[in-house]
Structure 1
């Protein structure tokens, strides 16, 4: 499977908006500033595995489900 950081960031942003969560709320769960989180959502900075897991938990997404969404949209 190909890596597309922008697609990962887009999926995260779309899910956050679906849940009506602010960037500030998700950033606080990651112990980071809203500005740093914004860069993550724009695909300007990478996401570590640890951050990915916290994001999935915060957005009520199973990591396997996230990867299914990613794989479908990648193709």
Structure 2
């Protein structure tokens, strides 16, 4: 069960990275918008950091996508 959750978390992290790259945004840009360090943002994309639902919605807003797109 835990492994499944970890795989899904990694999928979300990958979707965030791919969407950011598609928009030609840098990690630094997203970090500034989220008011966190670039290192902290990098950990989100690498799947090393668990994010809240609120943070997921904020990332989706910045990337101009529905949060659902980042989850699937």
In the TM superposition, residue 63 of structure 1 has moved relative to its aligned partner by 1.9
| TM-score with structure 1 setting the length | 0.82
Gaps of 5+ in 1: 71-75
Give the Cα–Cα distance (whole angstroms) in 2 for the partners of residues 23 and 8 of structure 1.
16
TM-score by length of 2: 0.85
Aligned pair partner of 2:16 in 6, 12, 16 = 12
Runs of at least 5 residues in structure 2 that lack an aligned partner in the other structure: none
Aligned to 1:28: 32
Larger fraction in helix: 2
Within 5 Å, which residues of 2 pair with 1:1-75?
A: 3=5, 4-67=8-71, 70=72
* Post-superposition offset of 1:65: 3.5
Question: Does 2-11 or 20-29 show the bigger shift?
Answer: 2-11
Q: CA RMSD in A?
A: 1.2
